[in-house]
């Protein structure tokens, strides 16, 4: 598998590239299925108050599903190790929650969930003067899916929320992770016509 490695504020040496290929490549063997692509971004945050400045972001696309993990550590090699472990766990979760459950329940091959929301939320340095300024705009596809499928996607992407079109109602819904545990869903109010 081809793993694309890039760096932000850090030079990706041959040694780092080989280490990523070795560690992340081993993690991807857990779920060897095609098509699968992997992008790894290595970056160093220039914030003195952050002791874990080395960050490794891994985005894996498996049959149009997205698995995204991020890890931080003072050492870049340790951050890569942590990310590899997280990728292994997320791919196992993907396999058991999505693939195996569907195949057991239906006895059919898996239908992919079409989505490309890996970069919906990307942590960026926030300037305090820009609190009321729009700094990023994303255009996304809203594939129809069930609430359960949206929950799985929220876990796989690792974001606090997920926007999708409810396959039952055809309306846009948002599933979000609650601070006190569990998930919530935001649904639009449907106005009934006056008779």
For the segment 41-88, what is each residue's pLDDT rounded down to a tens digit? 998 887 777 777 889 999 888 776 788 899 988 889 999 999 999 988
Q: Identify the residue with better confidence: 188 or 113.
A: 188
DSSP class per residue in 88-109: HHHHHHHIIIIIIHHHHHH-SP
Residue 8 DSSP label: E
Residue 149 — very low, low, confident or very high, per pLDDT cuts 50/70/90? confident
Asked if residue 179 has pLDDT above 50, the reply is: yes
Task: Please give the pLDDT value at position 194.
Answer: 58
In terms of domains, do 141 and 172 share one?
Answer: yes
Domain at 184, CATH number: 3.30.505.50
Percent of the chain surpassing pLDDT 90: 9
Asked whether residue 177 is assigned to any structural domain, the reply reads yes
Please state the domain count of the chain: 2
Sort 17 into a burial class: Cβ within 10 Å, 0-12 / 13-18 / 19+. middle
Domain at 95, CATH number: 3.30.160.100
**Does the global pTM surpass 0.75?**
no
Residue 190 DSSP label: P
Residue 3: which of 35, 27, 25 has the closest Cα?
25
In terms of domains, do 61 and 149 share one?
Answer: no
Interval 154-176 mean pLDDT: 85
Task: Please give the pLDDT value at position 190.
Answer: 76
Asked if residue 40 has pLDDT above 80, the reply is: yes
Task: Please give the pLDDT value at position 111.
Answer: 47
Asked whether residue 170 is assigned to any structural domain, the reply reads yes
Q: Which of 112, 141, 157 is the last residue of a domain?
A: 112
In terms of domains, do 69 and 11 share one?
Answer: yes
Task: Please give the pLDDT value at position 192.
Answer: 58
Tokens of 63: 């049959």
């Amino acid at each position: 598998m081809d793993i694309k490695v890039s760096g932000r504020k850090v030079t990706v040496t041959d040694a780092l590239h080989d280490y990523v290929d070795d560690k992340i490549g081993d993690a991807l063997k857990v779920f060897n299925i095609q098509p699968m692509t992997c992008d790894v971004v290595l970056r160093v945050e220039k914030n003195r108050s952050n002791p874990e400045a080395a960050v490794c972001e891994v985005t894996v696309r498996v049959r149009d599903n997205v698995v995204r993990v991020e890890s931080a550590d003072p050492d870049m090699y340790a951050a890569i190790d942590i990310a590899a472990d997280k990728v292994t766990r997320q791919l196992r979760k993907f396999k058991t929650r999505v693939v195996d459950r569907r195949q057991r329940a239906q006895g059919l091959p898996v239908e992919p969930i079409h989505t490309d929301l890996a970069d919906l939320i990307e942590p960026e340095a926030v300037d305090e003067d820009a609190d009321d300024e729009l700094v990023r705009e994303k255009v996304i596809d809203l594939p129809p899916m069930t609430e359960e499928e949206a929950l799985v996607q929220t876990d796989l992407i690792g974001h606090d929320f997920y926007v999708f079109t409810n396959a039952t109602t055809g309306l846009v819904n948002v599933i979000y992770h609650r601070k006190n545990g569990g998930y919530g869903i935001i649904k639009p109010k449907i106005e009934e016509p006056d008779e």
